[in-house]
């Protein structure tokens, strides 16, 4: 399957890449620190980034991050705390969570395997779960029904400890983070096929004591998850979309 990566602006769209096999996910970040936002794309054949030359969004140069990628999700964070954004990925078929070290202009991107055999990895993002100042990584495994975080033990991104948040999150899809209860630590929100949308409160900020709260248990097959203040009342809300037609939930919803 091939596809397009497109930049949309109002009624207009601009192709970034027209030769892309199975594009699965994108995110944006200024990867080369030139002040212009670039685009990262996870596809079935490659993990690539597109340099936004001049910052106009009309001229992109394609760069390879990882040539053995096989579909999944992608996000960015400064994993090794050297001041530049790195790339974190989940690969469905490869069953892996990896992060890729930003080489800042040189090539290739050093690849760091964090988890293998993580069956049908669906999502990966980063946050400081244990509050020690470095970026940890979170992921979901669809077939293992897991939502997991990996502790960045020395802050360099070279040594990771795996911690399960929930092992019965059936059909786990997406994971996001936010300090939902405003107590200064990072909480976790997940979406799934069978358990809907769930919040885990980080009770003591250590990442080892979680209280599970259902946000929308009937919101099944929720493939997307975002956090934003949708009603402008000062607190963050959850936006999701479900493919579960029985509940007529096949439209974007916020909670
Ligand atoms: Ca840039
Ligand atoms: Ca970095
Ligand atoms: Ca940390
Ligand atoms: Ca919190």
Distant-in-sequence, close-in-space partners of 117: CB < 8 Å, separation ≥ 6: 95
Q: Do the beta carbons of residue 163 and residue 148 sit within 8 Å?
A: yes
| Mean pLDDT (whole number) for 100-115 | 92
**Which pLDDT score is estimated for 248?**
47
- Judged by average pLDDT, the poorest of 38-47, 122-131, 191-200, 201-210 is 38-47
- Sheet of strand 222-228: strand arrangement: 222-228, 237-242, 252-254
212 alpha carbon – ligand 4 mean position (Å):
13
- pLDDT at position 1 is 47
- The pTM assigned to this predicted structure is 0.91
Q: Model confidence over 133-172: pLDDT tens digits?
A: 999 999 999 999 999 999 999 999 999 999 999 999 999 9
* Mean pLDDT, the chain, integer: 90
Average pLDDT over residues 29-35: 96
d(CA 121, CA 143) in angstroms, rounded, equals 8
Tens-place pLDDT, residues 37-64: 999 998 887 899 999 999 999 899 999 9
203-255: per-residue pLDDT in tens? 999 999 999 999 988 888 888 898 888 889 988 999 888 887 565 444 566 66
pLDDT at residue 73 greater than cutoff 90: yes
Q: Ligand 4 mean position to 185 CA, how many Å?
A: 4
Output the CA torsion 254→4→74→216 (10° steps).
Answer: 20
Ligand number nearest to the C-alpha of 210:
4
Ligand nearest to the CA of 87: 2
DSSP secondary structure, 99-153, as one string:
EE---TTSS-PPEEEEESS-TTEEEEEEE-TTSSSS-EEEEEETTTTEEEEEEES
Q: What is the dihedral of CA 60, 25, 227, 174, to 10 degrees?
A: -160
Distance 69 CA to ligand 1 centre (A): 23
């Amino acid at each position: 399957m091939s596809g397009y990566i497109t930049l949309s602006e109002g009624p207009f769209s601009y192709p970034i890449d027209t030769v892309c096999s199975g594009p699965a996910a994108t995110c944006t970040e200024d990867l080369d620190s030139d002040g212009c936002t670039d685009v990262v794309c996870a596809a079935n054949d490659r993990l690539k980034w597109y340099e936004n030359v001049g910052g106009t969004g009309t001229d992109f140069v394609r760069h390879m991050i990882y040539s053995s990628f096989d579909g999944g999700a992608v996000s960015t964070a400064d994993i090794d705390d050297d001041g530049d954004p790195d790339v974190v990925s989940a690969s469905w078929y490869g069953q892996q969570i990896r992060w890729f070290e930003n080489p800042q202009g040189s090539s290739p991107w050093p690849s760091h395997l964090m988890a293998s055999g993580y069956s049908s990895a669906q999502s990966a993002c980063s946050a400081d779960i244990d509050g020690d100042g470095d970026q940890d990584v979170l992921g979901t495994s669809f077939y293992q029904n897991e939502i997991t975080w990996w502790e960045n033990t020395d802050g360099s991104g070279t040594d990771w400890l795996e911690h399960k948040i929930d092992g019965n999150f059936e059909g786990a899809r997406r994971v996001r983070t936010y300090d939902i209860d405003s107590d200064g630590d990072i909480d976790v929100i997940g979406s799934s096929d069978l358990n809907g949308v769930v919040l885990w409160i980080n009770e003591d900020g250590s990442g080892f004591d979680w209280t599970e709260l259902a946000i929308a248990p009937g919101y099944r097959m929720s493939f997307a998850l975002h956090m934003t203040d949708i009603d402008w009342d000062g607190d963050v809300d959850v936006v999701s979309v479900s493919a579960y037609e029985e509940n007529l939930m096949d439209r974007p919803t916020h909670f």
